[in-house]
Structure 1
Amino acid sequence: MIAKLDLYKVFCEVAKCQSFSKAAKELYMTQPAVSQSIMQLEAELDVRLFTRTSKGVSLTYEGHLLFEYIYSAVNLIEVGEKKIFEAKGLMMGELKIGVGDTISKHFLLPYLEKFHDLYPNVKLKIINRTTLETCNLLKSGEIELAICNLPIEDPSLEVKKCMDVHDIFVCGDKYKELLVKPLSIEELIKLPLIFLEPKSNSRQYVEKFMISKGVKIFPEIELGSHDLLLEFAKINLGIACVIKEFSKDYLQNHLLYQVELTGEIPKRTIGFCFLKSVSLSSSSKRFVEIVESNLE
């Protein structure tokens, strides 16, 4: 079938032009080459496709029958090729990203806006999930890129770091006296703590650090979003563990205050994750480039 594809293209052009010479010009071939292609196709199908006349050629009954199907098929192939070239040029296509709510709001949005301004015909598909869930979506093929809280240890995934972040503890006015001196972790855990849910990668990172210091945490409140951590701390329901870079408005406007610790939690990063075994599409590659160029 594949071997006949070029012959079918020649067949369609001759049928449309009703002339070997005109078809040769359209195909940038010599007339003998066109004639030879038709003769080869007729031999392989064991049927006569054209009737030769002094004015040109016309389709036989069998030729008409074949043309009805081949013309549509060749057109579809050409459309498919055109779509590929359009996608390469980002005139169309799809950008499929998995990301958590917090990273969406505080990191992703300006880059999505810039990408959409540059390539408005590329369809955006954004799925909000936890880090673990977005990694599973990657491996199932439902998304192409994940933007996650790192570290992630998965041999099937490649990671590109984007931005350093720092986990800190914040409080409202009620607990401002805590700011007089840095607290030890042992002093901190005696206070009412507000954390993200245990399945959160951010929570697991901080909890692992605490355990390395011989301390186990027992939060009084566990929430599903970073914004809720900030709001709960603001109304003095406890001391919340948040990401400093995503809490700047609250800190700068003195709605919340950072609780200093005697030992800081080591910084971590957020970044892109994608399958090692699968090449990124043109749209995904371009999006990564846009983010990286703006972070430099």
Structure 2
Amino acid sequence: MNLSYLETFVMVAKHKSFSRAAKTLSLTQPAVSKHISLLEAHYGTKLVNRTSRRVELTDAGIVLYHFAGRIIATMERAKEEIVSFSEEVKGRLSIGASTIPGHYILPRILSDFKKEYPLVNVSLEVSNTGKVINRLQEEAIQVGVIGAPVDSPEINCTEFSSDEVVLIMPRDHPLVFRKELVTDDLVGEKVVVRENDSGTRRIVEEKLAAADIPLDSLQIAGEFGSTEAVLAAVEAGLGISFVSRWAAEKVALEGRIVMRTLQDLRFSRSLYIIYLRDRSLSRPTHAFLSFIKLGS
């Protein structure tokens, strides 16, 4: 079976139209119809229902659409990785990162990496640690950089840098005026937190629990999906929070929040590079892993 038939089928399914699929693929409409007919003959079942207004997938067509997208993506990755084994390091490098490394650490590293490997096309998507892990397992990215370790037999997880999580609060918060702060001072305070899949939240919960202060002993004033939103909420007076020093320092220096540490509890953590153990790594991926480890 010709792979182009699957590509045509995917376009028809996306556009719900033979004519729009033909235009996207630079084919004639009869050619598109022929590809679909050949696919239906190959599988021995009807894949699309065509009406005067639109095209709808049959149940069999829905199943094929699910697998066809993965097959096409796999073939594209195979082509990219094979091409990458030419003399020069070139091709695509897809990286997923959690908020702190994605916003504050990787941009500088990637700038230096591109100077050394200008033919590598780098893309960076930033989300939380849980989503980065999911994207890696889906093979939507080649490398992840996250703020919490991963315990999975299919994922290689290597420490590459360190970070400190600090306490932040509004400028006029009562705790600002205390000379020293300890964990007991936090009990009953309103706190702004990241979402459940956040690496920062995971570390904070673990450290507080070890100090016999579970997160639910504080008043959760709000749950936000990014570090920037947490910083803005604290600046607005919604509550105190814990964020990376990487993120807090600039805002604190501008006088918009106050950054403090606890005398009896330090929130240090490591940052990690993750990639799939059993997946063949392209030359751009090998180059990046070597580059980031040497530079750390």
Q: TM-score range by the shorter chain?
A: 0.5 to 0.7
Deviations 1:150-205 (A, max 9, x none): 22222221122121111111112211653423333232132111111122121022
Aligned CA distance change for structure 1 residues 280 and 226 (closer, same or farther; 3 Å): same
Between the aligned partners of 2:138 and 2:106, the Cα distance in structure 1 is 23
- Contact 2:221 2:238 (C-alpha < 8 Å) held by counterparts: no
Question: What is the TM-score normalised by the length of structure 1?
Answer: 0.65
**TM-superposed deviation, 1:274:** 0.9
Deviations 1:105-134 (A, max 9, x none): 101111222222333332223233321222
Aligned CA distance change for structure 1 residues 149 and 82 (closer, same or farther; 3 Å): closer
Pairing partner for 2:141 from 135, 140, 143:
143
- Range with greater deviation from structure 2 (106-115 or 285-294): 285-294
Number of equivalenced pairs: 215
Pairing partner for 1:105 from 103, 106, 125:
103
| Higher alpha-carbon Rg | 1
Between the aligned partners of 2:141 and 2:266, the Cα distance in structure 1 is 32
**Aligned amino acid, residue 284 of structure 2:** S
| Alignment partner, residue 215 of structure 2 | 217
Between the aligned partners of 1:178 and 1:190, the Cα distance in structure 2 is 16
**Aligned amino acid, residue 222 of structure 1:** E
| Alignment partner, residue 192 of structure 2 | 194
- Contact 2:149 2:272 (C-alpha < 8 Å) held by counterparts: no
Say whether 1:183 aligns with 2:181. yes
Aligned pairs (5 A) from 1:151-170: 151-170=149-168
Structure 1 residues without counterparts, runs of 5 or longer? 1-78
Between the aligned partners of 1:224 and 1:83, the Cα distance in structure 2 is 38
Aligned CA distance change for structure 1 residues 89 and 191 (closer, same or farther; 3 Å): same
Aligned pairs (5 A) from 1:229-248: 229-248=230-249
Between the aligned partners of 2:169 and 2:81, the Cα distance in structure 1 is 58
Structure 2 residues without counterparts, runs of 5 or longer? 1-78
Between the aligned partners of 1:284 and 1:85, the Cα distance in structure 2 is 11
SS in 1 for 2:223: strand
Deviations 1:240-277 (A, max 9, x none): 21111222212233332223323223411112101122
Between the aligned partners of 1:81 and 1:119, the Cα distance in structure 2 is 16
Question: What is the TM-score normalised by the length of structure 2?
Answer: 0.65
| Alignment partner, residue 277 of structure 2 | 276
- Contact 1:102 1:225 (C-alpha < 8 Å) held by counterparts: no
**TM-superposed deviation, 1:82:** 8.9
Following TM superposition, where does structure 1 have runs of at least 4 consecutive aligned residues deviating by more than 4 angstroms? Answer: 79-82
RMSD: 2.5
Matched-pair identity in % = 19
